[in-house]
Structure 1
Amino acid sequence: MPGFAVRPVLRWIGQGRKRDLPVAPWDLSFKAVTGLIAAFLVFTFASGAEAATLRIVALGDSLTAGYGIPRTAAFPARLEAALRAKGLDVKVENAGVSGETASQGLARLDWSVPQGTDAVIVELGANDMLRGLDPAVTRKALTEIVQRLRKRGITVLLAGMKAAPNMGRPYREAFDKIFPDIAEAEGVLLYPFFLEGIAGDQALNLPDGLHPTPEGVDRIVSGILPMAEQLVVRARETAAR
């Protein structure tokens, strides 16, 4: 075993003095050797499990992809940096596609969330709302995304969206209920409003008023970070089962 030397000694008395005699490795009992090997292997594998990097996929639209800003300033990269600053060994993959609806996210789910993924942040629905799509269609697609991820043993954080005021009260009420309803029904984590603290703030959005600046992204990360930490804890617990 490289880097793991064992030199037990025997003491004996002769000619009125004590001396230490190294025992050759082959003189060790079989039980002692196997015990040491077992302990070494347990330590090695346990350490490896603890050191494994947690893989998170951010599945979303342009708000995740980082429309109009450098990829290094986009939500996945900034969230990874924030989690690592907390001492958490994670990798956050950017699986955002600009302009995408919840149904389109569902269509690419299997290849966007590969095997080996531990957790997923689902950020979809904004484009459904902006296009005035039937909230029932959005609900169905998001529900299936969450259910399929859970069946794969993947921990989920659902990032909620809220309808714009100009969508009208009936639409807003139907749309805004989608995210808390799914989170409660499926038992997944929920961050109620992905754009909390930046929606409508010109200083934190690009000129289009829809997409966050790098500073806006950092505000999003600051808000969602406690839930993201819970996501990591849950994913670690699931992996340990």
Structure 2
Amino acid sequence: MSYIKIQDVYKKYKVGDTVVVANNGISFSIEKGEFVVILGPSGAGKSTILNILGGMESCDSGEIIVDELAISTFNNKQLTKYRRDDVGFVFQFYNLVQNLTAKENVELATRITKNALDVDQTLELVGLDHRKDNFPSQLSGGEQQRVSIARAVAKNPKLLLCDEPTGALDYNTGKQVLQTLQDTCRKMGTTVIVITHNSAIAQMADRVIKINDAKVRSVEVNKNPIPIENIEW
């Protein structure tokens, strides 16, 4: 059985008098330890399925299995525990606490979970052990994003979910952050899912799921992912 299985997931929103279908029968599976890219244009339904997979929203119907847990059947208390213990989130904007150092920002995440990793080792993993005593205002955008990755990874999650993690970064910094995410996947065995509208990034993935107009249009397994340093866009 696949590590993650999403089957016939539907999700709609009501905006005024209009019903917007965000996910219209979405189905795909992911294996443990894969680096996955969910690719599609803005408004395709990518963020909605990521939010459902991360336990931040519930689907209207369908089945979601993560490591043999049927999270689509979870109540609010179970979803809170799942988000806390099993999922790490990385967003386009870093959401760091400005009056805490890089190390203290990462430590925040380790206090809420039972199987947390060593903070110093996690900062070393993302290449920021020498910046751990700096405040966010003393860090570049790429460094702040790597702190946010360290914060998510320090929870030792089953899933690392990344919503346009390079969207606020320049080209070279974005590539460094993607390298950090891929290194985390390879070294830690964490299942990493990145959603993006940038088709070039898909070349570095083990699996590419293309979503458009609320439906999965294709799923491609990439036997030979290209190193990020060799990808141009």
Q: Could you state the TM-score of these two structures normalised by the residue count of structure 2?
A: 0.35
- Rg larger in structure: 1
Structure with larger RCO (C-alpha < 8 A, sep 6+): 2
- Which has a greater percent of helix? 1
- Which has a greater percent of strand? 2
Q: Could you state the TM-score of these two structures normalised by the residue count of structure 1?
A: 0.34
